Amino acid sequence: MDREQIKNILPHREPMLLLDSIELENDISVGKYTVRGDEFFLSGHFPGNPIVPGVILCEMMAQSSCLLIDMPGGNYKTFLSGLNDIKIRNTVVPGDTVTFKCERFKSKGMFHKFKCAGYVEDKLCISGEITCAVIQ
């Protein structure tokens, strides 16, 4: 799925659409984003040494996770409702393509839980659990 197809599912738009592509299979997603260097969140984090903020990496994982939720009727919104055991291991900088692997491991009612990890090449940059809520 490319950015335009992702927009048919997620309500996010530029500058907050933080996925370039995603592949979905069963309860696993693989989302990708290439950091261009001109993103709004880099200008002050940090001048002369731009690093993608951890909270932005969490949002990228959440967007990758939410695309796994497919509700009947298609008239719903997903919201990030929890972050657990988030670990930031390495930096993500302009020019990097970060790949997020997310797997749904639990669903109960409106809540869906995912185990996620973000990599640049084979280097683990972020990992943790994301919880998303579905509102219809």
Residues with catalytic annotation?
45
- For the chain, the maximum distance between any two Cα atoms, rounded to a whole number of angstroms, is 47
CA 18 vs. chain centroid, Å, equals: 7
Measuring CA to CA, how many Å separate 132 from each of 6, 8, 41, 49, 78?
17, 18, 23, 32, 6
Q: How would DSSP label each residue in 65-121?
A: HHTT---TTS--EEEEEEEEEEEE-S---TT-EEEEEEEEEEEETTEEEEEEEEEET
Q: Could you give phi then psi for residue 117, rounded to 5 degrees?
A: -150, 140
